[in-house]
Structure 1
């Protein structure tokens, strides 16, 4: 009995002296996942960024990889900021437990978004941004029903926004900004049945009126800036709304601002370079603004005195039809 106890204690001591990481003892990379990762590495031309992807090291310890602690299956593949050329390998679809897929800040990454990603039924985060991906925003992304974050910004994507994206009921954030998208904002974006996502569509070539259906939702963040959109934006505001940040600058919006009721939650409002007319509502003085810009419109009347409105520079108010009062010239 003493011999057995001594033997067990000796083994524990040896392991302690070796100072092995605890995950080495409990976590061994799934061999099928490892095989797929080597295929991905080869498809990308064995880049320096993936140097740690070697058979001498358990793949759960590779850079850009995260494994589930219980199953040792790959749950995150995050490749970013490196000299990688080629296209997104279709083999990414062969990592069946993947929850996060990220290819970001890879300016030599080209081609289109591969249909193979539809096999990733557990995916919650898809981030393909700051690359040279081209082609359309694929409608098949709507098959990834567990997505809560979709970022396709800073690419060369073209064509219209697929209305099918409105079926993603778990989305908390949707980034399609900084592309070359055309056409209208889909009516379906006013029918998100789950959470209402922060919506970023700026720096595209979108046209047409913003669908009235979007006014039925309670957005927190909206950025439609630098497009060619038209219509009335007052539907996004009201005493019961929860919008905090709204950027509608550099479009062709045209409506009367005089009687718009703004919610107490609003902290940032950018309406510059539109065709908005009327006067600034006195209720604006009751809001805690971090940013406000109404320049280059067709506003008239006196800027309401009080609150945060006088803390901004003249540049946030100038180039209107007949707006006056501090910080502009007296009426």
Structure 2
């Protein structure tokens, strides 16, 4: 199995890395949602089109491309709606027929954010019921809703009957507490299998973001223990600290291996591989982030240091789509 990225993938990875390096450093990482102008700039660079299927006017990016882009965003601790808006909703509307086709271009250009929700009952073109907390929901232009009654519908965010209240999440992003009260909805012609495939790609993106964040947090910890002195010596020279960092490195490399396996398996085996990766990486990332904060001492939990903000970002990512608990339940079923 060839795990090395191709030339085009390397070019995209380097482009994203340079873009983020110009905008994020230890003082600004995970300090809040990515500004709308930066999100649009990524769209103008063609990044979102790179990830969208050809049927949505994209370049047909698959699991490997999603993994590469998401890992770089995670490495910068960037707070973005990539997994749900671009990957999940983008692939749903691409496979959902003509009903959502006109949203493909605004999504690819970064001009529109799409929110994914589960809940509500659709009858006679109207959707009613609670959809719960939707990450990025206050910025969404349209919602892709997997209904309780089956099927997937599109609901425009400013349509009559759509009620949303802002909820600040732990990483500083703003979600929506979403409810529908007879809101007009348009059904998408998408099968349950296609919806599951889109969710799998989104969960792969979450795993990759977590792996990228783990790498950055560990780098920050290694740099800190080399500089912080106690008893006249860097604390990184103490065997107990070295052993702890070695365990964290093992968590990181195991997480990357699980991520790569999930991205490289056959399409018909991806669901199982992504679930296995999610079950491990969500817990491993949270453990690493917590240990990195502890290595920094009391300052680690403050907004002043990137590790404290990074922990909050990891905490949110590790809970999306049910987190490791939902993954273990799926594996046990």
TM-score, normalised to structure 1, is 0.23
Q: Which has the larger radius of gyration?
A: 1
- Between 1 and 2, higher relative CO (CA 8 Å, sep ≥ 6) is seen in 2
TM-score, normalised to structure 2, is 0.23
Q: Which has the higher strand share?
A: 1
